[in-house]
Amino acid sequence: MQIIKTILLAGSILLAQGNSDQKIPGLEACYPNWGNYEISKFISQTENEQKEYFLIYMYQPNFPYPAPLIISRPLNGGACKEEWFNHMGSDISFYRALGDRQIARQLNLGMYQKELKNTTKEAYQNFINEVAQVNSQWREERIWALKQLGFSIPENVRSID
């Protein structure tokens, strides 16, 4: 199981090495109040009629894997809210965490767009094919996002969620 988790997080590690340190004013007040997270990286942003949503990766010192954090903020102003923080590294879909499939899809789309800035489309397609050999069950929101970017999903992959 650990090998699968490592492969699935490889894309996140590539992203973490990129230049993703854009700061969004006012959101840091919603970050978890835990002293062991020292670095945050803006990953993706989307909105619906009421709120804007931000996907941020939080990092602990000397630990390469991010802890995803999703924050929302009302479009008409107001305080931000921590929607979901995956400090345990569990494989939980954004859809299950937020209850909104379109927001989950858009956050994943933005995440993959950012990852593609650090690699070629061909190399990423090869990565997709390799992961599919080890894990054939993928989150629907991830499959959707990859298809939007023109990637082929291997035939053995089955959607979950």
What's the confidence (pLDDT) of residue 20? 45
Q: Which residues pair with 39 in a beta bridge?
A: 59
- Residue labelled with tokens 């490889």: 10
The shares of helix, strand and coil residues in the chain, as percent rounded to the nearest 5, are 40, 25, 40
The pLDDT averaged over each successive group of 10 residues in the chain (161 residues) is 38 40 71 78 94 93 88 91 84 90 97 94 97 96 98 97 80
**Tens digits of residue pLDDT in 30-48:** 887 777 888 889 999 999 9
- Pairing relation of β-strands 81-85 and 137-139? unpaired
Find where tokens 């950012």 sit.
114
pLDDT score for 29: 78
Tokens of 79: 């305080």
Please tell me the predicted confidence (pLDDT) of residue 108. Answer: 97
Q: Crossing angle, helix 101-116 and helix 2-17, to 10 degrees? A: 70
Which pLDDT belongs to residue 8? 40
- Look up the pTM and report it: 0.82
What pLDDT, on the 0 to 100 scale, is given for residue 87?
Answer: 80
- 94 in Cβ contact with 84 (< 8 Å): yes
pLDDT at 125: 98
